[in-house]
Amino acid sequence: MAQLIEGRAVAEKVYEELRGEIAQLRERGVTPGLAVVLVGDDPASRAYVRSKDKMCRELGLHSVKLELPAATTQEELLARVEVLNRDPAVHGILVQSPPPKHIDEGAIVRALDPAKDVDGFHPANVAKLALGDASGFVPCTPLGCQRLLVESGTQISGAHVVVLGRSMIVGKPMAMLLMQKGKQADATVTVVHSRTRNMQEITRSADIIIAAIGQAQFVKADHVREGAVVIDVGINRVDDASAQRGYRLVGDVAFDQVSPKAAAITPVPGGVGPMTIAMLMANTVKACRQQT
């Protein structure tokens, strides 16, 4: 049976490291600050914002939680972002995705000060990732996936990694991150997606599979070779009458099928999810260090 790569345990290790860094910054009279902006009342987004705010407070960070009504205009949101850009107590800014349909999300991301873009989506930070410039910010989920691979003892250098999905949130930055030169990267990366031919043939050649395709239990046993390491980024609700809430959460990987073949695998929930928030906190502390 596969080794379980427990995201919560690795996230706790990240927090322990951050507590030391935060203490050093505070000795210099600086408290790292994160502002999270939520437009509208999407329940999942609200839950994410709550958990980010809670973790900020647990670590002793300065936390700004800005909840705006769904009717907030593009101009009003841009004005709020500009105020945060200029606020010296705020080192990181995150505008929770997705915003209401009338908001141009790309324009909001481009309005962020790249030095405070702790989500790593500003074009300047995307370019820095492509260039291997360590001063930029890498999106939190790919960064968390890389840390899970490192902490589980997985050999990344020289490995063939197959990333399922080509989003700007996970797929593309994940590929760029693992292609970098360095002991925690140096992988040969293939990206597959909904238009890929012979997908199973490609995924079966992978030493490491990172599934971020957004389809519940898409990756089956016949996608995976014996001894592969599987990182499941997906989180999907599936109806389940036997569950208390009427549904359960599953990943993009059919866990029961794949885990007997894999050398190591992340669970859903409890795998990649906790790491995303941990790396957001890490990016915020890094932003504070770089700005001060």
113 a catalytic residue: no
Q: What is the dihedral of CA 101, 107, 108, 113, to 10 degrees?
A: 170
Burial class (CB in 10 A: 0-12, 13-18, 19+), 263: middle
* Per-residue pLDDT at 121 exceeds 90: yes
Q: Which of 52, 128, 261, 286 is catalytic?
A: 52
- Structural domains in the chain, CATH included, are 29-128 (3.40.50.10860), 140-273 (3.40.50.720)
74 a catalytic residue: no
Q: Is 166 annotated as a binding residue?
A: yes
Q: Is 22 annotated as a binding residue?
A: no
> Percent of the chain at pLDDT above 70?
100
54 a catalytic residue: no
Tell me the pLDDT of the chain averaged across its residues: 97
Q: Which of 96, 116, 146, 286 is catalytic?
A: 96
State the pTM of this model. Answer: 0.96
Q: Is 209 annotated as a binding residue?
A: no
Q: Which of 113, 117, 119, 232 is catalytic?
A: 119
Q: What DSSP state is assigned to residue 171?
A: H
* CA 246 from centre of chain: 27
Residue type, position 9, single letter? A
Q: Is 210 annotated as a binding residue?
A: no
The answer to whether the beta carbons of residues 252 and 209 sit under 8 Å apart is no
Q: pLDDT for 177-222, tens place per residue?
A: 999 999 899 999 999 999 999 999 999 999 999 999 999 999 999 9
